[in-house]
Chain A
């Protein structure tokens, strides 16, 4: 055992020496990377660590952070009903809009792939525009206005489906479905672009080989040829749509108000804003952020291991 350990350490030492020598040879590389590395560490890595640290403290900016162990997490999960509403809503939104938006992105990218060139580029603009249109989603609050002059209400009342106007954005019953609708409208984002570009890059000769081997219809083409070729893009798109789905807050805040009726449209991020920037309970807010962070990373890892099996 001892010998084994000794050997192990010698090996590690040797490896470290080799790495050090290599690093010395590549000083320029580190110089190139340095500015980005410093900023990235400062604004992306360090904040995550800091937020994990603060999540174990009581911190209100004015006083020094006071260590209180797991108290924040305990009160979040056991006492804070509104947080649980937020978690429920976030999961609902993520589970419905995440996969649906992802599938939509791929489906439309795939469908427009065979269109003539200029039609395709127009289609890309039309599909992608909602996700970069700033806060254009507030137009939906006009469509879903609560009185009889709201267009959706008017439409349903004229067709006789409902007889009194519905308070779409105030009634807790309707808030989430409408927000999901709006989020789906905006869900053809960066992942969609990646799919469009990836589909263009699939080697044409593979399709011809496929026809020889008896690929019969579009779906077989999709499953046996297109999807396996698209795996890296699928991964990238998944990362994008998960990140988006868990970070929902702009839409719910703009459409349903902040805070919304009965907190029915509260998401984890809205809760984070509430505690971080309205109540200045930074420790508590950091606990929320940490939970959100863990949820996102775990979900991403799970989806990635799932996607590795596509087309095999």
Chain B
């Protein structure tokens, strides 16, 4: 290749990414620095209680009660966690049973919610039929009040069904959470209708379209549904509907330990970390997918 040709090629390169991004016209450097500073400050305030919780879980007992306190542990240990497991191991219902309860409830509740809500969301988003719009309106209204409003009648209903003091009292109502269906439906509306029509011309029925085409294309929404559902169920103390100790959830048992007073301070700090770490870690790993789903979360009139 001749030199000339090389030069030509270089000239042909239409666009070279500039090293420093061109600034938007309406930004001043001073303003940006002030903003960064402000954001950093607020982020520190927001994160401080969580950092403090984690570090106090790592502190040995004498440091926990030290005054004036230090934010970070001087001699970090995992004693609090091992103490916690010893305490849990000595309890009448074993640790593994509590863990099983929570995992069982979370897993079944999430799976059922995912399947049932996305089936509903699919037809609400992609088909027109009488009652469609009204039903969706009712669902958005249902997002406007908290679960506390319906708690008492729910208790009575579950009682009639004979589900009080069983896992189903937590699992089945979790299937119908309006939030999941709402997000799923909004996300599915973004799918091109032509995709579905093409499949139909090829002779696929609704179920095939649903499982073969729609579901694989809305994976971000799956993740979001799973995360919201796991968060809700993992933190569910279930103390209203479940009385038997052997069916209580892990969070409930852990918080019992936490309320054990001064002697359990170290273990209490460990409990805080154990309880919060699961939702946060799941969120960290699925952040981009959740944000992708939330982009279509808007509530149109």
Contacts and interface: CB of A to CB of B under 8 A. Distances in A.
A235 B299 contact: yes
Contacts of B116: 35-36, 39
A224 to B, nearest CB: 12
A33 B178 contact: no
Interface string A275-289: 011000010011001
Q: A30, A36, A43, A46: which has the most chain B beta carbons within 10 Å?
A: A36
Contact of A130 (B46, B147, B292): B46
A50 B156 contact: yes
Contacts of B117: 36
A306 interface: no
Q: A140, A193, A286: which has the most chain B beta carbons within 10 Å?
A: A193
Interface string B267-301: 00000100110011001100110111111011111
Interface stretch (A1-9, A18-26, A73-81, A166-174): A18-26
A23 B283 contact: no
Interface stretch (A95-103, A117-125, A258-266): A117-125
B257 interface: no
Nearest to A210: B26
B35 interface: yes
B153 interface: yes
B46 A211 contact: no
Contacts of B35: 111
Contact of B120 (A32, A190, A269): A32
Interface string B43-79: 1001101101100100000000001110000000000
Tell me the interface secondary structure of chain B in the complex: helix
A188 B280 CA distance: 14
Interface string A245-279: 01101000000000000000000010010001100
Contact of B153 (A35, A50, A143): A50
B143 interface: yes
A292 B148 contact: yes
Interface stretch (B12-20, B80-88, B97-105, B123-131): B123-131
B139 interface: yes
A82 interface: no
Contact of B145 (A217, A240, A297): A297
A217 B155 CA distance: 55
A120 to B, nearest CB: 10
Contacts of B279: 132-134
A10 interface: no
B258 interface: yes
Interface in A108-154: 108, 111-112, 114-115, 121, 123-130, 132-140, 142-143, 149, 151, 154
B275 A134 contact: yes
B216 interface: no
A92 interface: no
A156 interface: no
Contacts of A246: 146
Contacts of A43: 150, 154, 157, 172-173, 176
A135 B49 CA distance: 12
B176 A136 contact: no
Nearest to A290: B149
Given A48-B150, A194-B298, 13 more contacts: A26-B129, A35-B120, A36-B175, A54-B153, A121-B288, A124-B291, A125-B283, A136-B275, A197-B295, A239-B143, A289-B148, A296-B149, A297-B141
Can you list the 4 inter-chain pairs with the closest CB atoms, starting with the nearest?
A232-B298, A247-B146, A36-B120, A47-B153
5 contacts: A32-B123, A35-B120, A133-B276, A218-B26, A277-B240
Interface of B: 24-27, 31, 35, 38-39, 42-43, 46-47, 49-50, 52-53, 56, 67-69, 116-117, 119-120, 122-124, 127-132, 135, 138-157, 172-173, 175-176, 178-179, 181, 205-206, 210, 228, 231, 235, 240, 251, 255, 258, 272, 275-276, 279-280, 283-284, 287-288, 290-295, 297-301
